[in-house]
Amino acid sequence: MEKRPKILAVGSYVMGLVATTGRAPKERETVMGKEFNMAPGGKKHDQTVQCAPLGTSVTMVE
């Protein structure tokens, strides 16, 4: 039986806030957004997600 590597990731879990517009604003201009989405992220979170499919046992601590 093969042992799976164990990884402990210590870092922060943040939410990415993404707004889309029809065009980029000009200097000092406000442009109305079309859509707004939130997505999980953070460097350690992203690394943890990428390690899991490699067959590792991953735990994340914030």
4 compared with 38, residue with greater pLDDT: 38
Q: Work out the average pLDDT over 2-31.
A: 88
Mean pLDDT value of segment 53-57: 86
| Residue 21 predicted with pLDDT over 90 | yes
Residue 10 belongs to what H/E stretch? strand 6-10
Cβ neighbours, 10 Å, residue 11: 15
What's the rounded mean pLDDT across residues 17-31? 94
Note the pLDDT of residue 1: 60
Residue 44 makes CB contacts below 8 A (sequence gap 6+) with 9, 10, 11, 12, 13, 60
Mean pLDDT of 15-28: 92
